[in-house]
Every structure is written in structure tokens, then in C-alpha cells.
Chain A
Amino acid sequence: METAVHESAAAGANRPVPTPPRLSLPLALLLQRLLRPQRLWYALAVWLEGTPWAYRTFTAIEKTVKGGLFGCRMCAQCALPSTAYACPMSCPKELRNGPCGGVAANGDCEVYPGLRCVWVIAYERAAGAGRSHDLRRLQRPIDQREWGRSSWVNYWRGRDAGLWSADTSFAPAPPIEQPFDTAQGRR
């Protein structure tokens, strides 16, 4: 069995360890409304990408804030708004579409007994706020080249627009190689 020492070592090495969010869902949603893409944030994102020292500083701040609040590992393609702000990249299998079949009967992660499965947390938070349909969205594969970049900058520049489907009715998905919103392609 993993000990607390092993867990913190794993997290320190940026390996995924299930992490409960420290921010309540209403507060997270409020924050999301403030950070929603708009002209000001877009302009900031463009300036940051043109100014290496500022981008580095900004990314370090983002890592500290989101790391502390959500166990963020800086995949740079943030799924939090669609998962009740429980980070799926803190799942040891980095599952973005829901829990694996190995969740223990008590809701613990199979890899880290004693730690709660992040998808159990996500479901409970989402259902508690009447938002469980959020978890029905299909999540596209992430771009593994983006690790370490700023997800806020990517978000403000519209690069996250195609990360998950709008559909929550389980309708057959469009082909996976096409972004959901073709107007907003990733780099």
C-alpha cells in the first residue's frame, strides 16, 4: 500500500495523485465567470505569448494557484469547468471521460487506497449542484505537447473550444479527428 510519503513524492514528481478540489463548486463557477474569454483577457493572452518573461511568470503563478486549489499538473487543456472542478488529470490513469472500473466499493482510488477517486468526487459535486449532465460530455484526447504551458492563455485564445462535446444526450459523436468547433482550431 502507498503511504503518505509515497503519495507526496509522486505528486512532487508531477505524477497523478487523486486530489480533492479545495474550492467549493459555487466559488469555482464564480471564478470561471470572471475568467471567461473576453477582449481584455484575449489581449492579455496575446501580450503574454509575445513576452517570454511575463509568460513564464504568469505560468508559474497559474501553477501555484491551480496546483494548490485543484492539484493541477499543467496539462494546459483544462477540463475543470466540465468536471465540477475535480481535476481528471489527478487520476492515476489520467482518465478524462469518467471513472475506471476499479473504484473501490467505498469510493477510493484503486491505486491509492485511502484517497477518494476524483471521478467519485466529480460526480458527487456535480450531482449535488444539479450539473451531473456535465459529465456526459465526450472529452477529446489532449495534445501532449502542451504540458507546462498556460491553460488560461490557451483558454482565452479560444484553443480549448473543441475539447469537449456540447451534447449530453449520448447522440453518436462526430468523427474524433474533427474538433467540435472547427472555427477554433488548436495550433
Chain B
Amino acid sequence: MSALGSRLRDALRERRFAVTAELSPPRSADAEVLRRGARVLHDWVDAANVTDNQGAMVRVSSLAGCVLALAEDVEPVMQLQCRDRNRLALQSELLGAGALGIPNVLLLTGDHQRFGDHPDARGVFDIDSVQLLWTARTMRDQGKLLSGKTLKPPPAWLIGGVENPFAPPLAFRAERLGKKIAAGAEFVQTQYVFDLPRFRAWMEAARELGLTSRCAVLAGVGPIPTLRALERMQQIPGIVIPPAVEQRLRGVPPERVRDESIAMCAETIAELRALPDLAGVHIMAFGAEALVPEILERAGLGRRAHARENEHVG
């Protein structure tokens, strides 16, 4: 039985192949977009990441999105980045997540404001992602703020981070994962895996450092449903799309790009499942949550345990 609030934790603890997906908040005051996305994901994911002004674009806040997801019985992962907030605001947001029963947080540096819709904004970057992970773990396990002030009771979320195995310096990327684990990360989600050999090499390096037994790694995957999306993703810093992937998408008629990319994504998941140390996958569909069930079905990953239990009850 997976109660809401421990689905991801249980999946990771029991070493079931976990599935998370991104739930992108809208650039509007419309709650229905999030509710609809949450309902689509409900049966298929252990938890859904609610992004935090992703791409440095203003959106409904992650905390608000998490509350909407909870109301749809979808377990949220609250993303929180260091670009928009100083150490006071970061800690208060984390406490807010604790108070609202948000069971998972994912802590990251954040895209630079240069890439978003407010390039004229001041970036904060008061602390970095490793320091934020470390702060969160101290808040939860020691019941202390960065200032040393006591938290009673402390929050209880599962703490996650991110890593990009594909960005230089490649030889340092497993070590950077090690720093995040030392600081407090219990799970990490990676950047899009399009280059499987490189991903395997990174996993191998992490294994040699003894890291994969200390932290659940969820490989980031996602479809590239149109050629426009391909061109857009090629512009995003840190996403590496090998020529073979581009050739395959450009090799089919435009109306078949969507299907081809879903097939590719499902194939990638199937290959990733063969990696012994991998804890799961994280699907990033950039607001196209509707594609997620189809991808998972094709990859042979059925509905999650909590959805199957509901079938019996209903």
C-alpha cells in the first residue's frame, strides 16, 4: 500500500523501478491546467516534479502547484532553485513545503535569468545548489536553520538534487554527484539522456566512487515531439542531442515525428532499465504531460501500484 506522501520514498526503498514526471505550471492564474496535467499523470507516476520558474520564465509557483497536485492525489516533488531567492526565502519555502505536507523537494541552482523572459532581473545566487541541499538536510536531520536556530518540529521531506552527466568537465560530473550526496541528496534526477554510452560511463564512475548505493539515480528522459521542439531543445544549455537522434527525427515525415520521438523515448527507457544501479526514470515532457502514459506503456512500465489498488477498491 502506497499512501500519498510516501510513494516515491517507498518505490526507492523497495528498489522498484521508480517513475517521476515533470508537471509544468502555467503562465496564467489557471489552476485547471495543473489539475488536468496531474490527472493525466496520476496512475503512471510515483511522484510529479512541479517546476520552479523553469527556464527563468515566470510561472505559477512550485509551492502552489504542489498543493494543486496534492488535491488530485498526485504526490508532488517541489522544485526549488537558487536564482530567485536568498537563503531566508529558500528556507521559508522549504518550511512551507513541510507545513503543507509536501513529501519531496528537489533543490537546484536554476537556469540563469539571461535565458528567460526577464533577462533584466537580478539573479540572486546567494547560496548554490550543494549548499541548499546541505541546508535542507540540516533543517530536517538536525532541526536547525542555517543560522543555528532550532526548528520544532523539523520538516520531513525526502531530499533530491539534479546532475548533468553530459556537460563539461565530464570527468568531474560523478564527483559533483558525490558532493551533492555528501551534502544531503537522497535521490537525483539527471538531464535528458540521449547519449546512452556517456550516461553509462557516468553511472560507472559513480558506482566506482560508491555513490549509487547511497543515492537513487533517476535518469531524465523525454520526447522531442516536433522538429520545432528539437530546435528549441538544441538551444538549451546543457542538453546534448547526438546527431543520430536528430537524423532519426528528421528522417521521418513531419506528421510522424511525434510517434517516432515517443518510440525513441520508450526505447531509451527500456535500455536504461537494463542498468543494474538505476533507480528509475524521470520524464520531462515540457508541458505535454499527455504523452507520458503512452511513453510508459510502450516502455513496458504499467500503471503504478497505487493506481492498481484503486481499481480493486473501485
Q: A173-B134, A173-B184, A175-B142 are in contact. Are A93 and B109 (CB under 8 A)?
A: yes
Contact present for A103 and B167 (CB under 8 Å)? yes
Contact present for A123 and B163 (CB under 8 Å)? no
Contact present for A110 and B238 (CB under 8 Å)? yes
A94 and B112 alpha carbons, distance in the complex (Å): 11
B124-160 residues with Cβ-Cβ distance < 8 A to A are: 125-131, 134-135, 137-138, 141-142, 144-148
Chain A residue nearest to B114 (CB atoms) is: A111
Chain A residue nearest to B146 (CB atoms) is: A177
0/1 interface trace, chain A 90-119, chain B, CB 8 Å (1 if under): 001111111111111111001100000101
Does A172 lie at the interface of the complex (its beta carbon under 8 Å from any beta carbon of B)?
A: yes
Name the segment of B93-101, B171-179, B272-280 touching the other chain.
B171-179
Contact present for B178 and A170 (CB under 8 Å)? yes
A165 and B245 alpha carbons, distance in the complex (Å): 42
A90 and B236 alpha carbons, distance in the complex (Å): 22
0/1 interface trace, chain B 81-114, chain A, CB 8 Å (1 if under): 0110001000000000000000000000111101
B295 to chain A, nearest CB (A): 23
Residues of B within 8 A of A127 (CB): 171
B214 to chain A, nearest CB (A): 8
Contact present for B123 and A93 (CB under 8 Å)? yes
Residues of B within 8 A of A117 (CB): 168
Contact present for B182 and A171 (CB under 8 Å)? yes
A137 and B137 alpha carbons, distance in the complex (Å): 17
A154 to chain B, nearest CB (A): 19
Residues of A within 8 A of B137 (CB): 173, 176
A121 and B134 alpha carbons, distance in the complex (Å): 25
Residues of B within 8 A of A176 (CB): 131, 134-135, 137-138, 146
Does B307 lie at the interface of the complex (its beta carbon under 8 Å from any beta carbon of A)?
A: no
Q: How many A-B residue pairs have CB under 8 A?
A: 140
Does B164 lie at the interface of the complex (its beta carbon under 8 Å from any beta carbon of A)?
A: yes
Residues of B within 8 A of A110 (CB): 112, 115, 237-238
A111 and B237 alpha carbons, distance in the complex (Å): 9
A107-152 residues with Cβ-Cβ distance < 8 A to B are: 107, 110-111, 117, 119-120, 123-124, 127, 132, 135-136, 138-141, 144
Contact present for A102 and B112 (CB under 8 Å)? yes
A100 and B168 alpha carbons, distance in the complex (Å): 9
Does A49 lie at the interface of the complex (its beta carbon under 8 Å from any beta carbon of B)?
A: no
Contact present for A104 and B169 (CB under 8 Å)? no
Chain B residue nearest to A88 (CB atoms) is: B128
Contact present for B128 and A94 (CB under 8 Å)? yes
Contact present for A172 and B182 (CB under 8 Å)? yes
B90 to chain A, nearest CB (A): 11
Does B211 lie at the interface of the complex (its beta carbon under 8 Å from any beta carbon of A)?
A: yes
A119 and B182 alpha carbons, distance in the complex (Å): 19
Q: Which of B167, B191, B209 contacts A99 (CB 8 A)?
A: B167
Interface centre among B112, B137, B141 (most CB of A within 10 A): B112
Residues of B within 8 A of A144 (CB): 126
Does A181 lie at the interface of the complex (its beta carbon under 8 Å from any beta carbon of B)?
A: no
0/1 interface trace, chain B 216-239, chain A, CB 8 Å (1 if under): 000000000000000000000110
Contact present for A177 and B148 (CB under 8 Å)? yes
A132 and B172 alpha carbons, distance in the complex (Å): 9
A138 and B106 alpha carbons, distance in the complex (Å): 19
0/1 interface trace, chain A 8-23, chain B, CB 8 Å (1 if under): 0000000000000000
A94 and B191 alpha carbons, distance in the complex (Å): 21
A59 to chain B, nearest CB (A): 23
A102 and B183 alpha carbons, distance in the complex (Å): 21
A104 and B112 alpha carbons, distance in the complex (Å): 14
Contact present for A104 and B237 (CB under 8 Å)? yes
Knowing that A102-B238, A139-B131 touch, tell me 12 more A-B residue pairs with CB under 8 angstroms.
A92-B123, A98-B172, A99-B172, A99-B176, A101-B191, A106-B168, A110-B238, A111-B112, A132-B175, A138-B179, A170-B175, A177-B144
Can you identify 21 A-B contacts, CB atoms within 8 angstroms? A93-B82, A93-B128, A94-B128, A99-B168, A99-B169, A102-B164, A103-B168, A103-B169, A103-B237, A104-B167, A107-B168, A110-B112, A119-B172, A120-B168, A132-B171, A136-B179, A138-B182, A170-B210, A173-B182, A173-B183, A177-B145
Question: What are the 9 A-B residue pairs with the smallest beta carbon separation, nearest first?
Answer: A101-B164, A102-B237, A110-B237, A97-B130, A170-B178, A123-B169, A103-B167, A102-B238, A177-B148
What residues of chain B have their CB less than 8 Å away from a CB belonging to chain A?
Answer: 82-83, 87, 109-112, 114-115, 123, 125-131, 134-135, 137-138, 141-142, 144-148, 162-164, 167-169, 171-172, 175-176, 178-179, 181-184, 191, 209-211, 237-238, 240
